Amino acid sequence: MDIVHISMALIDEDKDQPRYQFNEEALQELMRSIDEIGLLSPIKVRHAPNGRYMIIYGNRRYKASQMLGRSTIPCIVSDTTDEMEIYLEQIAENLTREGFSPIEEGEAFNKLLNDSGFRSSMKFLSAKLGKPESYIKNKCELLKFSGAVKKLIVSGTEIRKDCLTEDQLMPLKDLPMEHRDPIALIAARDELPVSDVKKIAKLFKDKTISEKTKEKLLLKTGSGLIETWSVYEQNRKEKKKREQEEKEWAEEQARFASAAPMGNDASKPSAGSGGGILNGAAPAAGGLSESGLASAAVISGSETIVALLKEQKGALSEQGARLLRIADIASGLSGGEAGAALKQVEQIIQQLDKQLTDWYDLKQRLHSR
């Protein structure tokens, strides 16, 4: 591989190359390094019309040498003319260099995937560049964000004020634009860790929260959004627990009903009856019908009765624990919520009153025997 010194005046920069952002401070540092110890690595160029040369890679070294007023620069001259190969080489070289931003990477990958002159596949790029397909895909996802957000994206994982890392943005990529960009800017301003961004993204993905509420949430600070997420998560867990308890209660009632089936005439109250358990009426939820007990007694006598009554005692114990839980939650209800719950409590009390009457009737029947 021959290295030749070429006049700086004959070399042009490639305006279409993947890297176009150059940190001025880093460029000044490179210039001082070249001035002190010389240029350690040559740049690579290709032939251009009229005896000129176009840079393939090494733009920063070219700029720093230009700032130093150098008349020539050491170069490797390539005979490659295939635009795809040249662009891939430019990307591969920049991937090894400091300062190649995630947005520049994303734009380069997107160009290779979608530009009519290239039309590469994700699999092809992965093999050529030695990067996982997920790496390439994530860089392309960054292009979804607005220009204001893109300007803040930096390399690395360090969380800094008014900067954004790829890890901070990935949880937001699937949100609608009206939520995605404002949350990203909040994350940059308030230096939110990735774990907090994930929580906020989950909050905004919840379809049970109205768009109007989400618009109001965007006015909060990062810490305010995390506080809202904590309340939301607690409410979600409590709701899930209540649903599980209700499901278990329904299953208990179903098991009890199947263990004490009603007789053929159980649903027909006798003439003049008050509808109580000893008159053949179907009990309220959790009650015990006389016909059910009698039917069970025919099968296995008193043992069946004792087993059924033990099961009912267990159900009552669980009811007591559930009541304590409900009372604890009720202390935090608002006026409107408490009113709605009160109606349900009144209905349950009516059912319990009915059941209590049935149990006293049963006690009297058993005592008389």
Neighbouring CB atoms inside 10 A of 197's CB total 25
pLDDT for res 120? 86
Cβ neighbours of residue 75 under 8 Å, at least 6 residues apart? 3, 4, 5, 6, 11, 42, 43, 44, 45, 53
Q: Model-level pTM?
A: 0.61
* Rounded Cα gap, residues 45 and 68, in angstroms: 20
pLDDT beneath 70, residues of the chain: 1, 259-304, 328, 332, 335-336, 369
Q: Which residues of 69-96 are buried (b: 16+ CB within 10 A; e: fewer)?
A: eeeebbbbbbeeeeeeebbbbbbebbee
pLDDT for res 15? 86
pLDDT for res 369? 67
* Rounded Cα gap, residues 344 and 326, in angstroms: 12
pLDDT for res 53? 95
Cβ neighbours of residue 270 under 8 Å, at least 6 residues apart? 279, 280
pLDDT for res 321? 73
Give the tokens for residue 16: 């279409």
